[in-house]
Amino acid sequence: MLAEDVDGVQQKLKKILNFKNLHTCLKEAILLDYYVSGFLWARGMDFSVIQYIKFMTLLDMLLHNLRTLHMSLEDNIKWLGEVMAEIGPSHSQKNEEWSIFNIKQANAVIDYLKISLFQHYKLYEFLFYSTREEIVIGTKQVIEVVKPSGGLFPDPLEEGISFDLYSTFIEPPPILDTEMKRLDQKQVPEESQSEANSSDVDPLVGFTIEDIKSVLDQVTDDILIGIQAEINEKLQIQEEAFNARIEKLKKA
């Protein structure tokens, strides 16, 4: 691993640590970065192979104290101090395995641990002790589409349609006054002729054209108002049905 580049070191440690879900597991990605960063820092210090082994063991033991023994930051620093205090040539009896580091190297190791593990100790505690919700990367939803009414209204869209759009672009335009006058003028002679043929007495005697137009206009307005009210009522019913289904989908 000493001759590998960054990607090579990462692949080697990934295999040694048996990490298989780096792209989906945040914990594995953080731990791999912890070990790779430590190894690359040690390589920059020109450590010997034995020093590499001891340093990587020290990284693993500090993480073991945090993850398994639940050591606080103060206890872990105290433990590190007790270990590193035995590196001098006159202190090799108690912890002989750490005596391969000289004083300068030991200070460098402590400085590195300050900016790597100890500075982010709370984040590592959160990583090991806090439970996280699983991220939903896929889900299925069933959308209930309203069946066509088969009446005067268009088939509703899945997302619904506002009354303003319907009345502006879809609803048939109302009959203009000029067209109504033309219809009145056509209908009046035809009705007069048919009634004259059936009876000698004209029921329209005494009424002027203006009177007839006024009556027809009033009747037409009443009919249109009734149709508009019926349309508004049906649209209100459909809107309430849509809202009920939307609430049902939200609860699901």
pLDDT in tens, the chain (252 residues): 777 888 888 899 999 889 988 888 888 999 999 999 999 999 999 888 888 888 899 999 999 999 999 999 999 999 988 887 765 444 445 445 546 778 888 889 999 999 999 999 999 999 888 776 666 667 777 776 655 555 565 555 545 666 677 677 766 666 555 656 666 666 555 555 555 555 555 666 666 777 777 777 777 777 778 788 888 888 888 888 888 888 877 776
Contact 202, 192 (CB under 8 A): yes
* Residue 140 in tokens: 């299925």
pLDDT at 61: 93
pLDDT at 112: 93
Residue 92, pLDDT score:
47
The candidate with the shortest Cα–Cα distance to 17, out of 30, 2, 4, is: 30
CA separation for the pair 64, 32 (Å, rounded):
15
Residue pair 59/35 in contact (Cβ under 8 Å)? The answer is: yes
Which residues make Cβ contacts (< 8 Å) with residue 231, sequence separation at least 6?
A: 152, 171
**Is 132 in contact with 126 (CB distance < 8 Å)?**
no
pLDDT of residue 33: 93
Q: What is the pLDDT, as a whole number, of residue 90?
A: 46
Q: Tokens at residue 221, please?
A: 């307005």
